[in-house]
Amino acid sequence: MAAARGKSVHTWWRWVRLGCAVAATLAWTAGCGWQSRAVHPGKNAAETAKPLNQRPVPMRVIRHGNHVELEMTAEETSIQIADGVWYHAWTFDGTVPGPVIWLRQGDEVTLRLHNADPHMAHAIDLHAALVAPNQAFVDVPPGQTRTLHFTAKLPGVFMYHCASQPMLQHIGNGMYGAVVVVPPGGPVPAYTLVQSEFYRNGDFTQMARGRPQYVVFNGRAFQYVQHPLPAKVGKPVYIAFVNAGPNEFAAFHVVGTVLRDVMPSGSPRTHLYDLQTYTVAPGDGALIRLVFDAPGMYPFVTHDMADMTQGAMGMFRVTP
Ligand SMILES: [Cu+2]
Protein backbone atom coordinates (compact mmCIF):
# COMPACT_ATOMS: atom_id res chain seq x y z
CA MET A 1 0.00 0.00 0.00
CA ALA A 2 2.82 2.37 0.94
CA ALA A 3 4.56 1.46 -2.30
CA ALA A 4 1.41 2.31 -4.26
CA ARG A 5 1.22 5.74 -2.61
CA GLY A 6 4.90 6.31 -3.30
CA LYS A 7 4.40 5.50 -6.96
CA SER A 8 1.44 7.88 -7.17
CA VAL A 9 3.42 10.79 -5.69
CA HIS A 10 6.34 9.97 -7.97
CA THR A 11 3.97 10.24 -10.95
CA TRP A 12 2.71 13.67 -9.82
CA TRP A 13 6.27 14.86 -9.30
CA ARG A 14 7.03 13.93 -12.90
CA TRP A 15 4.07 16.13 -13.90
CA VAL A 16 5.53 19.01 -11.92
CA ARG A 17 8.93 18.71 -13.59
CA LEU A 18 7.25 18.52 -17.01
CA GLY A 19 5.10 21.54 -16.07
CA CYS A 20 8.16 23.62 -15.17
CA ALA A 21 9.81 22.73 -18.47
CA VAL A 22 6.69 23.58 -20.51
CA ALA A 23 6.18 26.87 -18.63
CA ALA A 24 9.78 27.89 -19.29
CA THR A 25 9.39 27.12 -23.00
CA LEU A 26 6.12 29.06 -23.24
CA ALA A 27 7.73 31.99 -21.44
CA TRP A 28 10.61 32.05 -23.88
CA THR A 29 8.43 31.90 -26.99
CA ALA A 30 5.70 34.37 -25.90
CA GLY A 31 5.33 37.46 -28.09
CA CYS A 32 4.96 41.14 -27.19
CA GLY A 33 4.51 44.61 -28.64
CA TRP A 34 0.76 45.15 -29.11
CA GLN A 35 -1.37 47.93 -27.68
CA SER A 36 -5.13 47.68 -27.26
CA ARG A 37 -7.23 50.17 -29.21
CA ALA A 38 -10.19 49.69 -26.90
CA VAL A 39 -8.37 50.69 -23.73
CA HIS A 40 -5.14 52.51 -23.05
CA PRO A 41 -2.95 50.43 -20.81
CA GLY A 42 -0.05 51.84 -18.84
CA LYS A 43 3.51 50.85 -19.63
CA ASN A 44 4.46 47.28 -18.93
CA ALA A 45 7.68 46.29 -17.19
CA ALA A 46 9.59 45.80 -20.45
CA GLU A 47 8.75 49.37 -21.55
CA THR A 48 9.72 51.07 -18.29
CA ALA A 49 13.29 52.40 -18.36
CA LYS A 50 13.88 52.01 -14.64
CA PRO A 51 11.13 50.07 -12.87
CA LEU A 52 10.38 51.10 -9.32
CA ASN A 53 11.00 48.65 -6.53
CA GLN A 54 9.25 50.25 -3.57
CA ARG A 55 9.75 48.87 -0.08
CA PRO A 56 6.73 46.82 1.03
CA VAL A 57 4.59 48.67 3.57
CA PRO A 58 2.62 46.11 5.61
CA MET A 59 -1.12 46.63 6.12
CA ARG A 60 -1.94 48.36 9.41
CA VAL A 61 -4.89 46.93 11.35
CA ILE A 62 -6.35 48.58 14.44
CA ARG A 63 -9.38 46.95 16.06
CA HIS A 64 -11.58 48.49 18.80
CA GLY A 65 -14.47 46.09 19.42
CA ASN A 66 -16.22 45.76 16.06
CA HIS A 67 -14.60 48.90 14.63
CA VAL A 68 -11.70 48.00 12.35
CA GLU A 69 -9.32 50.54 10.84
CA LEU A 70 -7.21 49.38 7.91
CA GLU A 71 -4.38 51.26 6.22
CA MET A 72 -3.17 49.94 2.89
CA THR A 73 -0.63 51.17 0.36
CA ALA A 74 -0.62 50.89 -3.42
CA GLU A 75 2.96 50.55 -4.64
CA GLU A 76 5.23 49.01 -7.26
CA THR A 77 7.44 46.22 -5.96
CA SER A 78 9.43 43.41 -7.55
CA ILE A 79 8.33 39.97 -6.42
CA GLN A 80 9.45 36.42 -7.14
CA ILE A 81 6.74 34.48 -9.00
CA ALA A 82 8.69 31.28 -9.74
CA ASP A 83 12.15 29.95 -8.99
CA GLY A 84 14.55 32.62 -10.28
CA VAL A 85 11.76 34.62 -11.98
CA TRP A 86 11.10 38.17 -10.77
CA TYR A 87 8.14 40.31 -11.77
CA HIS A 88 7.69 44.08 -11.60
CA ALA A 89 4.33 44.01 -9.85
CA TRP A 90 1.69 46.61 -9.06
CA THR A 91 0.69 45.71 -5.51
CA PHE A 92 -1.28 46.31 -2.37
CA ASP A 93 1.31 46.60 0.41
CA GLY A 94 4.18 45.21 -1.65
CA THR A 95 2.99 41.62 -1.92
CA VAL A 96 1.03 39.54 -4.46
CA PRO A 97 -1.56 38.65 -3.48
CA GLY A 98 -2.07 41.57 -1.12
CA PRO A 99 -2.63 40.83 2.57
CA VAL A 100 -5.65 38.78 3.65
CA ILE A 101 -8.23 41.06 5.25
CA TRP A 102 -9.75 39.13 8.18
CA LEU A 103 -13.09 40.43 9.44
CA ARG A 104 -15.95 39.30 11.66
CA GLN A 105 -19.51 39.57 10.43
CA GLY A 106 -20.87 42.95 11.52
CA ASP A 107 -17.51 44.72 11.66
CA GLU A 108 -17.58 48.44 10.87
CA VAL A 109 -14.58 48.99 8.60
CA THR A 110 -12.71 52.18 7.79
CA LEU A 111 -10.13 51.63 5.05
CA ARG A 112 -7.55 54.25 4.13
CA LEU A 113 -5.79 53.59 0.83
CA HIS A 114 -2.59 55.53 0.29
CA ASN A 115 -1.26 55.58 -3.25
CA ALA A 116 2.55 55.61 -3.05
CA ASP A 117 2.87 54.83 -6.76
CA PRO A 118 4.14 57.98 -8.51
CA HIS A 119 3.12 56.71 -11.97
CA MET A 120 -0.64 56.19 -11.90
CA ALA A 121 -3.90 56.17 -9.95
CA HIS A 122 -5.09 53.07 -8.09
CA ALA A 123 -8.31 52.19 -6.28
CA ILE A 124 -9.76 49.36 -4.23
CA ASP A 125 -12.95 47.38 -4.82
CA LEU A 126 -13.92 44.95 -2.06
CA HIS A 127 -16.58 42.39 -2.96
CA ALA A 128 -17.48 42.21 0.75
CA ALA A 129 -18.55 45.87 0.77
CA LEU A 130 -22.16 46.67 -0.13
CA VAL A 131 -21.67 50.29 -1.18
CA ALA A 132 -22.14 52.59 -4.17
CA PRO A 133 -19.01 51.97 -6.24
CA ASN A 134 -18.94 55.47 -7.73
CA GLN A 135 -18.68 56.83 -4.18
CA ALA A 136 -16.44 54.24 -2.53
CA PHE A 137 -14.26 52.56 -5.16
CA VAL A 138 -12.82 55.75 -6.64
CA ASP A 139 -9.36 56.43 -8.07
CA VAL A 140 -6.68 57.61 -5.68
CA PRO A 141 -4.20 59.84 -7.54
CA PRO A 142 -0.44 59.39 -6.96
CA GLY A 143 0.65 60.60 -3.54
CA GLN A 144 -2.89 60.92 -2.20
CA THR A 145 -5.02 59.02 0.33
CA ARG A 146 -8.74 58.21 0.21
CA THR A 147 -10.96 56.66 2.87
CA LEU A 148 -13.91 54.33 2.47
CA HIS A 149 -16.32 52.90 5.03
CA PHE A 150 -18.35 49.73 4.92
CA THR A 151 -20.04 47.22 7.20
CA ALA A 152 -19.10 43.56 6.77
CA LYS A 153 -22.78 42.55 6.63
CA LEU A 154 -22.36 39.17 4.97
CA PRO A 155 -20.03 36.32 5.89
CA GLY A 156 -18.00 34.87 3.07
CA VAL A 157 -14.77 34.52 1.16
CA PHE A 158 -14.44 37.54 -1.10
CA MET A 159 -11.99 39.05 -3.55
CA TYR A 160 -10.66 42.59 -3.39
CA HIS A 161 -8.85 44.20 -6.29
CA CYS A 162 -7.74 47.46 -7.84
CA ALA A 163 -10.62 49.19 -9.62
CA SER A 164 -8.62 51.61 -11.78
CA GLN A 165 -8.76 51.27 -15.58
CA PRO A 166 -7.79 49.20 -17.40
CA MET A 167 -8.72 46.81 -14.62
CA LEU A 168 -7.37 43.87 -16.62
CA GLN A 169 -3.91 45.41 -16.38
CA HIS A 170 -4.13 46.41 -12.71
CA ILE A 171 -5.32 42.95 -11.67
CA GLY A 172 -3.01 41.25 -14.17
CA ASN A 173 -0.05 43.05 -12.60
CA GLY A 174 -0.89 41.86 -9.08
CA MET A 175 -3.45 44.12 -7.40
CA TYR A 176 -5.80 41.69 -5.59
CA GLY A 177 -6.31 39.73 -2.43
CA ALA A 178 -8.84 37.96 -0.20
CA VAL A 179 -11.34 39.27 2.34
CA VAL A 180 -12.55 36.60 4.75
CA VAL A 181 -15.62 37.53 6.82
CA VAL A 182 -16.20 34.96 9.56
CA PRO A 183 -19.77 34.61 10.96
CA PRO A 184 -20.36 34.15 14.71
CA GLY A 185 -19.29 30.61 15.62
CA GLY A 186 -18.18 29.94 12.07
CA PRO A 187 -15.04 28.03 11.22
CA VAL A 188 -11.84 30.02 10.77
CA PRO A 189 -10.03 28.75 7.65
CA ALA A 190 -6.62 27.20 8.26
CA TYR A 191 -5.39 28.26 4.83
CA THR A 192 -6.17 30.97 2.32
CA LEU A 193 -5.37 30.16 -1.30
CA VAL A 194 -5.58 32.82 -4.01
CA GLN A 195 -5.29 31.55 -7.57
CA SER A 196 -4.11 34.05 -10.17
CA GLU A 197 -2.13 34.48 -13.39
CA PHE A 198 1.02 36.28 -14.46
CA TYR A 199 1.66 37.33 -18.06
CA ARG A 200 5.12 37.61 -19.60
CA ASN A 201 6.68 40.98 -18.64
CA GLY A 202 3.23 42.29 -17.76
CA ASP A 203 2.48 42.38 -21.48
CA PHE A 204 -1.04 43.69 -22.09
CA THR A 205 -1.41 41.74 -25.33
CA GLN A 206 -1.02 38.47 -23.50
CA MET A 207 -3.44 39.61 -20.77
CA ALA A 208 -6.06 40.59 -23.35
CA ARG A 209 -5.65 37.30 -25.18
CA GLY A 210 -5.71 35.30 -21.95
CA ARG A 211 -2.38 33.57 -22.43
CA PRO A 212 -0.71 33.43 -19.02
CA GLN A 213 2.92 32.54 -18.47
CA TYR A 214 2.27 31.29 -14.93
CA VAL A 215 -0.84 30.28 -13.01
CA VAL A 216 -0.13 30.25 -9.30
CA PHE A 217 -1.44 29.81 -5.78
CA ASN A 218 -0.58 32.73 -3.49
CA GLY A 219 1.70 34.40 -5.98
CA ARG A 220 4.35 31.82 -6.75
CA ALA A 221 4.40 28.76 -9.05
CA PHE A 222 4.59 25.35 -7.34
CA GLN A 223 5.52 26.87 -3.95
CA TYR A 224 3.44 24.35 -2.00
CA VAL A 225 5.00 21.44 -3.87
CA GLN A 226 8.29 22.66 -2.43
CA HIS A 227 6.69 23.49 0.95
CA PRO A 228 3.61 21.27 1.47
CA LEU A 229 0.77 22.44 3.71
CA PRO A 230 0.40 20.27 6.84
CA ALA A 231 -2.86 18.53 7.78
CA LYS A 232 -3.95 15.76 10.16
CA VAL A 233 -5.83 12.54 9.41
CA GLY A 234 -9.51 12.90 10.26
CA LYS A 235 -9.29 16.55 11.30
CA PRO A 236 -11.35 18.92 9.11
CA VAL A 237 -9.30 21.54 7.25
CA TYR A 238 -11.08 24.65 6.00
CA ILE A 239 -9.66 26.39 2.92
CA ALA A 240 -10.66 29.93 1.95
CA PHE A 241 -10.19 29.89 -1.82
CA VAL A 242 -10.30 32.98 -4.04
CA ASN A 243 -9.83 33.08 -7.77
CA ALA A 244 -8.39 36.49 -8.63
CA GLY A 245 -7.92 35.66 -12.30
CA PRO A 246 -7.93 38.02 -14.09
CA ASN A 247 -9.01 35.52 -16.78
CA GLU A 248 -8.73 31.84 -15.96
CA PHE A 249 -11.46 29.81 -14.25
CA ALA A 250 -10.27 27.67 -11.34
CA ALA A 251 -11.20 23.98 -11.20
CA PHE A 252 -10.16 23.23 -7.63
CA HIS A 253 -9.45 19.58 -7.02
CA VAL A 254 -7.59 17.58 -4.38
CA VAL A 255 -6.10 14.29 -5.57
CA GLY A 256 -7.03 11.40 -3.27
CA THR A 257 -10.10 12.90 -1.63
CA VAL A 258 -13.26 14.89 -2.36
CA LEU A 259 -14.34 18.33 -1.23
CA ARG A 260 -16.56 17.29 1.66
CA ASP A 261 -18.38 20.61 2.01
CA VAL A 262 -18.21 23.59 -0.35
CA MET A 263 -19.81 26.92 0.54
CA PRO A 264 -19.95 29.00 -2.69
CA SER A 265 -18.59 32.51 -2.06
CA GLY A 266 -18.03 31.28 1.50
CA SER A 267 -21.71 31.81 2.31
CA PRO A 268 -22.94 29.52 5.14
CA ARG A 269 -26.42 29.62 3.52
CA THR A 270 -25.41 27.17 0.79
CA HIS A 271 -23.62 23.85 1.16
CA LEU A 272 -22.58 21.48 -1.62
CA TYR A 273 -21.39 18.13 -0.35
CA ASP A 274 -18.81 15.65 -1.64
CA LEU A 275 -17.73 17.31 -4.88
CA GLN A 276 -14.79 15.95 -6.90
CA THR A 277 -13.94 19.37 -8.41
CA TYR A 278 -15.38 22.83 -7.83
CA THR A 279 -15.35 25.66 -10.36
CA VAL A 280 -14.50 29.10 -9.01
CA ALA A 281 -14.96 31.89 -11.55
CA PRO A 282 -12.61 34.87 -11.70
CA GLY A 283 -13.84 37.24 -9.01
CA ASP A 284 -15.39 34.53 -6.87
CA GLY A 285 -14.41 32.53 -3.81
CA ALA A 286 -15.39 29.50 -1.75
CA LEU A 287 -15.02 28.06 1.70
CA ILE A 288 -14.05 24.39 1.37
CA ARG A 289 -13.91 21.69 4.06
CA LEU A 290 -11.51 18.80 3.52
CA VAL A 291 -11.04 15.62 5.56
CA PHE A 292 -8.18 13.23 4.82
CA ASP A 293 -8.69 9.53 5.52
CA ALA A 294 -5.06 8.35 5.53
CA PRO A 295 -1.58 9.82 5.95
CA GLY A 296 0.35 10.72 2.81
CA MET A 297 0.96 13.40 0.19
CA TYR A 298 -2.18 14.83 -1.51
CA PRO A 299 -1.72 17.16 -4.50
CA PHE A 300 -4.16 20.08 -4.84
CA VAL A 301 -4.54 21.60 -8.28
CA THR A 302 -6.68 23.43 -10.72
CA HIS A 303 -7.84 20.54 -12.91
CA ASP A 304 -7.40 22.79 -15.94
CA MET A 305 -4.35 20.88 -17.10
CA ALA A 306 -2.67 23.77 -18.93
CA ASP A 307 -2.98 26.00 -15.86
CA MET A 308 -1.80 23.26 -13.52
CA THR A 309 1.25 22.73 -15.70
CA GLN A 310 2.05 26.46 -15.44
CA GLY A 311 2.27 26.40 -11.66
CA ALA A 312 -1.18 25.95 -10.08
CA MET A 313 -0.33 22.89 -8.05
CA GLY A 314 0.54 22.27 -4.42
CA MET A 315 0.62 19.49 -1.83
CA PHE A 316 -0.95 18.64 1.51
CA ARG A 317 1.30 16.59 3.78
CA VAL A 318 -1.14 14.58 5.91
CA THR A 319 0.17 13.00 9.10
CA PRO A 320 -1.52 10.79 11.76
CU1 LIG B 1 -4.19 49.70 -9.60
Mean pLDDT by 10 residues, the chain (320 residues): 42 50 39 33 57 94 98 98 97 98 98 97 98 96 98 98 98 98 97 98 96 98 98 98 98 98 98 98 98 98 98 98
* ∠ Cα 182 172 78 (to 5°): 95
Q: Is 48 helix (H, G, I), strand (E, B) or coil?
A: coil
pLDDT on residue 46: 46
Q: What is the pTM of this model?
A: 0.87
CA of 91 to the centre of ligand 1 (A): 8
Q: Would you kindly state where each structural domain of the chain is located, as residue ranges? A: 2-27+205-319, 45-187
Q: Across-strand partners of 116?
A: none
CATH number for 45-187 (one of 2.60.120.620, 2.60.40.420, 2.40.50.140, 1.20.1440.230): it is: 2.60.40.420
pLDDT digits (tens, 9 = 90+) for 21-79: 444 433 333 322 222 333 456 665 545 556 799 999 999 999 999 999 999 999 999 99
Identify the burial level of 85 via C-beta atoms within 10 angstroms of its C-beta, where 0-12 means exposed, 13-18 middle and 19 or more buried: middle
The domains spanning 2-27+205-319 and 45-187 adopt the same CATH topology = yes
Q: Within a 13 Å sphere around the CA of 79, how many CA atoms are in the beta-carbon half?
A: 24
The DSSP letter of residue 308 is H
pLDDT on residue 50: 66
- Which residue positions form the known binding site for Cu cation? 122, 127, 161-162, 170, 175, 303
CA of 307 to the centre of ligand 1 (A): 25
pLDDT on residue 51: 79
| Highest CATH level, class, for 2-27+205-319 | mainly beta
CA of 165 to the centre of ligand 1 (A): 8
pLDDT digits (tens, 9 = 90+) for 217-246: 999 999 999 999 999 999 999 999 999 999
